[in-house]
Amino acid sequence: MSHNPHHLLVTGAAGFIGANFVHYWLDRYPMTRVIALDALTYAGNRANLTALDDHPGFQFVHGDILDSDLIERLLREERIDTLVHFAAESHVDRSIHGPDAFLKTNIEGTHSLLKAAKKVWLDDQGVEDHRFHHVSTDEVYGTLAAADPPFSESNQYLPNSPYAASKASSDHIVRSYHHTYGLNTTISNCSNNYGPYQFPEKLIPLIIAHCLDGKSLPIYGDGKQIRDWLYVDDHNRGIDLILHNGRIDNTYNIGGNNEWTNIDIVTLICELMDEHHPAGAPHRQLISYVRDRPGHDRRYAINAGKITNELGYAPAETFETGIRKTVQWYLDNEPWWRAIMDGSYREWIEKNYA
Ligand code: NAD
Ligand code: TYD
């Protein structure tokens, strides 16, 4: 059963992937309407969306996914047929220091959206053609040994961090709302995204920013942990395919076929920075090994065979093109990440949304 999204509610739209998704979507489908909802937590940045303020299909709403009255009102008044749920607490290190916010936002927040969607689409209005798409992570599957096959959709859930456990829990609740109430749900579990607008607490933007400031480049543990890296718009392409043609109650893994150890990726970024922004000495001299993350997953890898075979998914970027674009974006948008680093991006948010 294919679906044609016309009126979308996108949660977490001012965050890294959400903002890229909204740009991607309105560029590709300019005649549709997007309600971009975000609570503007520390990770949400209204500036990520201001370029769209004059787009007739775009509207920003400052609000919380836990506010079910607001969500129900938006679903009803905006005649939403497609909910794309990105909003989350997303940083593993923060989940280690403060798991509460992760359980609240990722579990209760997802449930609040599901309840509102059930109420409006199923109980009140009988909207048959609707989709609730939940964006999740490969971290729900736990960690792989070097020789293990990549994660497929049938892998057991074995989350290791409070972040991963909260996402795993939300995935189960989404599934239950299909099986129990008949909500049209889909889920995607993807690997590590990279690209423009990523908050500089995550590895790739942090390393670029530290290179530019001549600060040390922290490598956790031995730096041999492996991640699969996915360019953010390739992730968005995958979600686009699922929204249109994904099978209800199905999970799709989205990956970049692109496994790197952390130390290799940091070394590569150092080489790109030497090329684009020579600093006298090679940037790799800034590398500094630091204490490992507790419970640090050793390896993630994705088998994207299902979305490839069923929906014709293929990443458009190679890592070579994606990482170059990304480094260039951070070089071209220094005021953007500097405002985050020095906290000034919040001043406008606080003034505007007081
Ligand atoms: P992010 O931290 O950059 O953005 C999250 C956004 O959600 C922020 O704008 C924040 O303000 C908003 N938000 C948080 N709590 C909210 C609430 N209660 N109500 C409304 N908005 C709220 O995260 P991201 O990297 O863009 O990740 C988006 C989604 O993708 C998350 O669900 C994450 O678990 C998933 N994911 C991310 C990656 C990755 O590599 N970044 C990989 C796999 C899955
Ligand atoms: P991160 O970007 O936080 O994503 P995730 O934990 O969701 O994979 O980290 C990517 C990898 O880089 C992870 O193995 C932890 C490591 N890392 C460092 O070595 N140093 C750092 O300063 C950061 C932020 C991450």
Q: What's the CATH code of the domain at 311?
A: 3.40.50.720
Asked if residue 221 belongs to a domain, the reply is no
E-assigned strand segments in the chain: 7-11, 33-38, 58-62, 82-85, 131-137, 185-190, 192-194, 217-220, 226-231, 250-254, 259-261, 287-290
Q: What are phi and psi of 331, to 5 degrees?
A: -70, -40
Ligand 2 binding pocket, CB closer than 6 Å: 92, 192, 202-203, 206, 218-220, 225, 227, 262, 293
- Report whether pLDDT(350) > 80: no
CA of 312 to the centre of ligand 2 (A): 30
- In short, whether 86's Cβ falls inside 6 Å of ligand 1 is yes
Asked if residue 338 belongs to a domain, the reply is no
Rounded Cα distance between 351 and 346, Å, is 8
CA of 15 to the centre of ligand 1 (A): 6
- In short, whether 38's Cβ falls inside 6 Å of ligand 1 is yes
- Report whether pLDDT(109) > 90: yes
Which of 351, 228, 253 shows the shortest CA–CA distance to 307?
253
Looking at the DSSP bridge assignments, the partners of residue 84 are: 10, 133
Asked if residue 276 belongs to a domain, the reply is no
- Report whether pLDDT(345) > 90: no
The reported pLDDT for the residue numbered 343 is 83
Rounded Cα distance between 81 and 35, Å, is 11
* Ligand 2 atom nearest to 91, measured from its CA: 3
Look up residue 274 and give its two tokens: 């030497």
Total number of domains constituting the chain = 1
**Residues 244 and 2 sit within 8 Å (Cβ to Cβ):** yes
Q: Whose CA is nearest to atom 14 of ligand 2?
A: 225
Q: Whose CA is nearest to atom 19 of ligand 1?
A: 64
CA of 168 to the centre of ligand 1 (A): 15
Asked if residue 101 belongs to a domain, the reply is yes
* Ligand 2 atom nearest to 163, measured from its CA: 7
- In short, whether 139's Cβ falls inside 6 Å of ligand 1 is no
- Residues contacting residue 16 through CB under 8 Å, at least 6 positions apart: 43, 48, 90, 193, 195, 197, 198, 199, 202, 232
Asked if residue 64 belongs to a domain, the reply is yes
Which of 61, 56, 161, 178 shows the shortest CA–CA distance to 114?
178
- In short, whether 39's Cβ falls inside 6 Å of ligand 1 is yes
Average pLDDT over residues 253-270: 97
Place of tokens 């497609």: 82
The reported pLDDT for the residue numbered 346 is 77
Residue 107, domain extent: 7-196+230-257+295-317
- Residues with a catalytic annotation lie at 138-139, 163
**Residues 39 and 63 sit within 8 Å (Cβ to Cβ):** yes
- In short, whether 240's Cβ falls inside 6 Å of ligand 1 is no
Tell me the per-residue pLDDT of 67-108, one tens digit each, with 9 for 90 and over.
999 999 999 999 999 999 999 999 999 999 999 999 999 999
* Ligand 2 atom nearest to 223, measured from its CA: 19
Q: Whose CA is nearest to atom 9 of ligand 2?
A: 203
Which of 60, 57, 2, 64 shows the shortest CA–CA distance to 25?
57
Asked if residue 136 belongs to a domain, the reply is yes
The conformation of residue 198, written as its DSSP 8-state character, comes to -
Which of 286, 281, 284 shows the shortest CA–CA distance to 271?
284
The reported pLDDT for the residue numbered 344 is 80
Asked if residue 121 belongs to a domain, the reply is yes
- Report whether pLDDT(193) > 90: yes
* Ligand 2 atom nearest to 297, measured from its CA: 14
Rounded Cα distance between 134 and 137, Å, is 10
